[in-house]
A and B are shown apart, each in its own frame.
Chain A
Amino acid sequence: KAGVTQTPRYLIKTRGQQVTLSCSPISGHRSVSWYQQTPGQGLQFLFEYFSETQRNKGNFPGRFSGRQFSNSRSEMNVSTLELGDSALYLCASSLERDGQPQHFGDGTRLSIL
């Protein structure tokens, strides 16, 4: 059974640009969560989607947004990139309605120059 797939694995952008990251959950999983991982702040929750609806959102500015499609694939978008957005972005999916336990992808490493 395929795991959670995130694309691309690495991305380099410059300040002010925008970026879209993609996540394909495990087949049958309808809950998709996104996290930002940095050395300074650790792992922080961005948002969660279930059946195309955002059910939960972390404490991030509006530049961070996401969506989920009818096949449960999810994308997150970051606009007007800042140097501080450099991080590993992790996606996780869950089979259960409450979104736990979660199965993680290998992440997208975003570097802002």
Chain B
Amino acid sequence: GDSVTQMEGPVTLSEEACLTINCTYTATGYPSLFWYVQYPGEGLQLLLKATKADDKGSNKGFEATYRKETTSFHLEKGSVQVSDSAVYFCALSSAGGTSYGKLTFGQGTILTVHP
């Protein structure tokens, strides 16, 4: 079945440091890939997405490239801010009718950014 594996956390960085959160997946066919972010006490917010190989999703300085050859979708940001502190989830949605409305999530990575 489908699965998503994220790098173990938590990740602690100083402000303006570079961020990479690794994400790899297992799925049949050509899934769509997503990064969601969850702030304390809130639901998940879509950060970025990619729907086919070599697509690059980007938003708010975050980027991720859909790499089919390595089945990866790593999240990167060149300079993090304290306000980026949150939990980040990598997720996939498989193609096909049996996957309607279903996201398979990684375990989440807690990011803390210190001033």
Contacts and interface: CB of A to CB of B under 8 A. Distances in A.
Contacts of B42: 106
A100 B93 contact: yes
A90 B108 CA distance: 15
A48 B101 contact: yes
Interface residues of A, number: 28
A98 B99 CA distance: 8
Nearest to A102: B103
A98 to B, nearest CB: 6
B43 A48 contact: no
B46 interface: yes
Contact of B103 (A33, A49, A105, A107): A33
A45 B97 CA distance: 15
Given A42-B107, A43-B89, A104 B100 contact: no
Is the contact region of chain A dominated by helix, strand, or loop, or is it mixed?
strand
Interface in A58-74: 58
B25 interface: no
B61 interface: no
A99 B100 contact: yes
Contacts of B85: none
Interface residues of B, number: 24
B41 interface: yes
A45 B105 CA distance: 9
A102 B36 CA distance: 10
A80 interface: no
Interface string A83-113: 0000000101010001111111111000000
B34 A101 contact: yes
A21 interface: no
Contact of A48 (B32, B34, B46, B102): B102
Given A104-B45, A106-B43, A56 B100 contact: yes
Contact of A56 (B43, B45, B101, B106): B101
Interface of A: 4, 6, 31-33, 35, 42-43, 45, 48-50, 55-56, 58, 90, 92, 94, 98-107
Give the top 3 A-B pairs by smallest Cβ distance, nearest first: A48-B101, A99-B101, A104-B43
